[in-house]
C-alpha cells in the first residue's frame, strides 16, 4: 500500500501580489498509479496548489516562497511549465479552456506540442483518445466553442492525454456539469488510471463524487491541509459529512 510517490509537495507557501499569503505550508503526496483528491470550499486554495505544482503562478503574480515540489524523485519547482509537461506532469485547467475557434480534433492535436516523436505515434494516441471519448470522435470536426460543457471538459482531458502524461492535475472536472456527465467523466478518469497508469491529483468541490473515485484525500481550508486520510475514512468521518458532504 505504501506506493512510492510520483509527486510530493512539501510545505509550500504561496503569496499573491507580494502580500497575500494564500497557501500557508501545504504538504501532500500522490502515490504512483494513485488517484488523490484535493478537497475544500471555493477559495480554499485548490487551484493555487495545482498551479504552484505546474509552475503557472508567475503569470498571475503569484509565487512559491517556500517549500519543494518533487516529481519522480526530482525537484521541479524551478522548471518551466512546458518542461514539466515534457516530463509527464500536466494540468487540466478549471473551466475547460478549449480553443473555442478550433475544431475538437485541432484542440486535441495542440496537446502534442511538447512531443518529439513522430506523426505515427501521435496519430495512434489520437485514436486512443477517441476510444476513451467516443463523443469526441463524433464531434471531431465541430468548433470546440460550440460543443457542450461535457464535451469541452472531455476535449480538455483528451488534449492533456496527447502529451502522454504520467500524471494529470485535474481542476474541478465536475464544475457546471449534470450529475450523469460528472459520473461519465469520473469513470473515464478511473479507466485512464487503471489502463494507462496515469496518476491523478483531483481538485474538487464535489467531495462526494471525488471520494468515491479517489483512494486518498486532503481537505484544504484557508490555505492549510486540515484533514487527510483514506477516502473511505473521510467519507464516514462525521466532520467531513457535516461540512463537506452536506449530510449534516
Nine-digit cell string for 95: 473551466
Q: Does 21 bind ligand ATP (CB under 6 A)?
A: no
d(CA 177, CA 169): 19
Q: Does 20 bind ligand ATP (CB under 6 A)?
A: yes
Q: How far is CA 186 from CA 46, 61, 105, 183, 206, in A?
A: 18, 32, 22, 5, 12
State in angstroms the smallest separation of the CB of 167 from ligand ATP.
Answer: 19
Q: With H, G, I as helix, E, B as strand and everything else as coil, classify residue 76.
A: coil
Q: Which is nearer to ligand ATP, 34 or 62 (CB)?
A: 62
Q: Does 43 bind ligand ATP (CB under 6 A)?
A: yes
State in angstroms the smallest separation of the CB of 168 from ligand ATP.
Answer: 16
State in angstroms the smallest separation of the CB of 139 from ligand ATP.
Answer: 27
HSE-CB of 44 using CA atoms within 13 angstroms: 19
DSSP class of 147: S
Residues in region 174-213 near ligand ATP by CB under 6 A = 205
Q: Which is nearer to ligand ATP, 52 or 136 (CB)?
A: 52
Buried-exposed string 17-41: b where 16+ CB fall within 10 A, e elsewhere? eeeeebbeebebbbbebbbbbbbbe
State in angstroms the smallest separation of the CB of 49 from ligand ATP.
Answer: 7
Determine the interface stretch with ligand ATP among 17-25, 96-104, 153-161, 177-185 (rule: CB under 6 A): 17-25
Nine-digit cell string for 139: 464531434
Q: Which of 2, 19, 42, 120 binds ligand ATP (CB under 6 A)?
A: 42
Nine-digit cell string for 198: 496515469
d(CA 19, CA 54): 21
Q: Does 173 bind ligand ATP (CB under 6 A)?
A: no
d(CA 12, CA 68): 6
Q: Does 99 bind ligand ATP (CB under 6 A)?
A: no
Q: Which of 5, 31, 34, 62 binds ligand ATP (CB under 6 A)?
A: 62
Size of residue set near ligand ATP by CB under 6 A: 16
Q: Does 16 bind ligand ATP (CB under 6 A)?
A: yes
Q: Which is nearer to ligand ATP, 46 or 139 (CB)?
A: 46
d(CA 243, CA 248): 7
Contact residues for ligand ATP, defined by CB under 6 A: 16-17, 20, 22, 40, 42-48, 60, 62, 94, 205
Amino acid at each position: 500500500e505504501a506506493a512510492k510517490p510520483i509527486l510530493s509537495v512539501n510545505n509550500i507557501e504561496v503569496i499573491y501580489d507580494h502580500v497575500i499569503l494564500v497557501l500557508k505550508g501545504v504538504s501532500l503526496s500522490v502515490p504512483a498509479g494513485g488517484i488523490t483528491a484535493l478537497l475544500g470550499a471555493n477559495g480554499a486554495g485548490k487551484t493555487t496548489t495545482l498551479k504552484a505544482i505546474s509552475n503557472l503562478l508567475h503569470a498571475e503574480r503569484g509565487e512559491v516562497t517556500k517549500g519543494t515540489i518533487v516529481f519522480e524523485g526530482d525537484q521541479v519547482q524551478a522548471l518551466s511549465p512546458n518542461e514539466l509537461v515534457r516530463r509527464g506532469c500536466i494540468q487540466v485547467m478549471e473551466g475547460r479552456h478549449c480553443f473555442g475557434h478550433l475544431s475538437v480534433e485541432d484542440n486535441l492535436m495542440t496537446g502534442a506540442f511538447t512531443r518529439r516523436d513522430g506523426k505515427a505515434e501521435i496519430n495512434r494516441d489520437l485514436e486512443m483518445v477517441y476510444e476513451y471519448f467516443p463523443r469526441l470522435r463524433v464531434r471531431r470536426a465541430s468548433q470546440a466553442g460550440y460543443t457542450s460543457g461535457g464535451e469541452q471538459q472531455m476535449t480538455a482531458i483528451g488534449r492533456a492525454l496527447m502529451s502522454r502524461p504520467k500524471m494529470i492535475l485535474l481542476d474541478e472536472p465536475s464544475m457546471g456539469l449534470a450529475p450523469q456527465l460528472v459520473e461519465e467523466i469520473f469513470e473515464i478518469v478511473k479507466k485512464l488510471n487503471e489502463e494507462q497508469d496515469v496518476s491523478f491529483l483531483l481538485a474538487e468541490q464535489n467531495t462526494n463524487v471525488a471520494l468515491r473515485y479517489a483512494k486518498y484525500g486532503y481537505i484544504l481550508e484557508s490555505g492549510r491541509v486540515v484533514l487527510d486520510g483514506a477516502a473511505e475514512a473521510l467519507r464516514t468521518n462525521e466532520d467531513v459529512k457535516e461540512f463537506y458532504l452536506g449530510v449534516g
